[in-house]
A and B are shown apart, each in its own frame.
Chain A
Amino acid sequence: MTDFLQLVFSGCAIGSVYALAALGFTLLWQASGTLNFAIGEFVMLPAFAMLGFLAMGWPMALAFPATVLLSVLVLGWGFKRIVVDPLLRYGMMPLVVATIGLSLMMRNGVRAGYSAQAHPFPSIFGEQVFALAGVTVSAGDVGTLVVALLIVLGLQTFLQKTVTGRAMQAVAQNTESATVLGINVKRMVFYTFGINAVLAASAALLVAPVYLAKFDMGMHLGLKAFLAAIIGGFNNSRGALLGGLIVGIGENLAGAYISPAYKDAVALVLFLVVIIFKPNGLLGKTEERKV
């Protein structure tokens, strides 16, 4: 039983990181109809940026905010201006292809221009291990879970309680009515891209100590974030959190009780089962089909 609880707990920790990436993915989709296939690389690049700042002798307390700023600039503003804006008018599919190209470019740019090795990444929570009611938990897992949950809850509060957040939701729900109501749609969409970049940088901070910083670290992470987003409900922000946790816990349990070799297959199996019974995900709403 303690084994089980331990697995569930560390599953929650990794699942909450999937949730951060999945959340950025669903937010972009809702606000601008952008399906970002480079989401995994959006986590990989900040990890390397942080390593770069650390190598310059900066402390993490400075390296992380600097990375967040850089991410918002490059992965938020730059991504929107250079890739999304020129393509969005052609519909969803060219943009999907372009983000696949972008992920290829980012991955191989890092590999060719920097390193193909896995680089160790310092954990901000230390290496301690506690016993909590008989269950051993690591400081890394507790810290990851707490920070990720705080970010998700903070974002939820921002979206629901502040004027800007509500305006962003209005844009996501109906862009035309939002324009009529005098909301600056362009700015709100930009905020979404910025938030996506912040979420990606935070996910990098939390996941890189576990996965190590490597040019292809985003491939698995990205796939699991997509699948988690769909499992939870593609058009619902809370769904991303639920989906991420389900995938994280499911993986850990299957890895321990079924087969460690097939741990990475769990997300796909869960995805197939969920879409057969609930095509819009566990918390998703049915979308009207547009002619």
Chain B
Amino acid sequence: MRILKSPSLAVAALALLAVAALVVPHFLKSYGLYLLTYWLIYVMATMGLNLIVGYAGQKSLGHGAFFGIGAYAAALLLKAGISFWLALPAAMLLCFVAGLLIGFPALRVKMVYLAFATLGFNEVISLVFRNEEWLTGGTFGLSDIARPSLFGWSLDGARAYYHLVLVLTVLGFLLLRGILRSPWGKAFTALRDNPIRAESLGVNIQAYTLLAFAIGSAYAGAAGVLFGSLVQFIEPAPFSVQTSIMMYLMVVVGGAGYLAGPIIGSIIGVLAPEWLRFVEGWYLFVFGALVIALMVWLPGGIASIPDRLRERRKSKAASAARTAAAVANKLSKEVAA
């Protein structure tokens, strides 16, 4: 399991993150809390995408569609008076099934096709959100989405809701880590690293990939539910193809296949634009350039830096050892002569 490979460093980073996540909110005003909650929601969504992209090795450019399906499904259920705690799993299940349905035809034939199928799927879902006014409210959207309460304890306030999202995101993280540590999850990685070998070892590639895709989609659905209750008003725009492309790039920039990848990627995609307000519209331009530069110099993403450094140190040590051995060899020959 790679969070950051070296255990002490990983533990330190996690501890730091946990303390920050618990302490920082108490010093923030409501907009800061909103942003932090928004960031956590993106972490949740991109964790699911990381399972698809980083572990199952698929290209999905339609994650925003599942994000939207989750948000709309939960909003409609909440408006019908159904409890948040039922709406959340229901929306996730819906996304899981939708993932199976769209992934099946695309994955049956060729892996690359999934990228195009998901991109197209996102277009269609956006059209549905915009045009089916009787259901989705069209461009006017759905407003007054309720925030949940737990055992009669209202989670309506910004700080309380932040903590709910934090707990659910941590649970999502632990669940994902559990999945990936199980033998079942190891098959994912085997499949990404060498699909043909994995198949010859008896891994049913299509079933595993499809399942990874559906689970990842369910994560996006959960994130969508939390997003709807955060902003309390949803309309089609936040679930467009642009969102999907940004989510995909966040995973890749953060480090696909590293558990920390989505956390870092979401900082760059969600929090950084707020700090860099002064660059205005140029932010995405710079982000696009960063993606290209990263692919050239650091294809593994930011979370791969410790691995890269370690490899470099190892190869340096190995070459030093080789030189030493060669010198020793030469010396011993000279001595013998």
Contacting chain A: which of B90-98, B115-123, B142-150, B182-190? B115-123
Which A residues from 210 to 233 make CB contacts under 8 A with B?
219-220, 223, 226-227, 230
The proximity string for B residues 118-153 relative to A, scoring 1 for CB distances below 8 Å and 0 otherwise, is: 011101100100110000000000000000000000
Question: A272 vs B252: C-alpha distance in the bound complex, in angstroms?
Answer: 27
Q: Which residues of A contact B108 (CB under 8 A)?
A: 276, 279
Nearest-neighbour CB distance to chain A for B195, whole angstroms, equals: 10
Question: Are A104 and B124 CB-contacts (below 8 A) given A111-B281, A275-B105, A275-B106?
Answer: no
Given contacts A94-B299, A279-B110, are A265 and B248 in contact (CB under 8 A)? no
Q: Is the CB of A223 within 8 A of B291?
A: no
Min CB–CB distance A37 → chain B (angstroms): 8
| Interface residues on chain A, number (Cβ under 8 Å) | 44
Distance in Å from the Cβ of A233 to the closest Cβ of chain B?
Answer: 13
A267 contacts B by Cβ under 8 Å: yes
Q: Are A261 and B127 in contact (CB under 8 A)?
A: yes
The reply to whether B295 and A95 contact each other, CB–CB distance below 8 Å, is: yes
Q: How far is the CB of A271 from chain B (nearest CB, A)?
A: 6
Selected contact of A102 from candidates B109, B282, B284, B292, CB within 8 Å? B292
Question: Quick one: which of A101, A111, A230 has the most chain B CB within 10 A?
Answer: A101
Knowing A35-B112, A272-B117, say if A86 contacts B289 (CB, 8 Å).
no
Identify which of B105, B109, B292 contacts A105 (C-beta below 8 A).
B292
Whether a CB of chain B sits under 8 angstroms from the CB of A164 is no
* Docked-complex contact B123 and A108, CB < 8 angstroms: no
**Does B249 sit at the interface, judged by CB under 8 A?**
yes
Question: In the complex, are the beta carbons of A112 and B115 less than 8 A apart?
Answer: no
Contacts A87-B295, A97-B249, A97-B295 given: A104-B287 contact, CB under 8 Å?
yes
A60 at interface, CB cutoff 8 A? no
By the criterion CB–CB under 8 Å, are A86 and B120 in contact? Answer: no
Residues A108 and B285 in contact, CB atoms below 8 Å apart: yes
Determine if A105 and B281 form an interchain contact, defined as CB atoms under 8 angstroms apart: no
Contact partners of A279 in chain B: CB under 8 A: 108-110
The listed residue (B116, B117, B245, B292) touching A98 by CB distance below 8 A is B292
What are 9 A-B pairs with beta-carbon distances under 8 A? A92-B112, A97-B295, A98-B291, A100-B291, A101-B249, A223-B119, A261-B127, A262-B124, A265-B124
Supply 8 further A-B pairs (C-beta < 8 A) apart from A94-B295, A220-B123. Answer: A90-B299, A96-B59, A97-B295, A102-B288, A105-B284, A265-B123, A271-B120, A291-B196
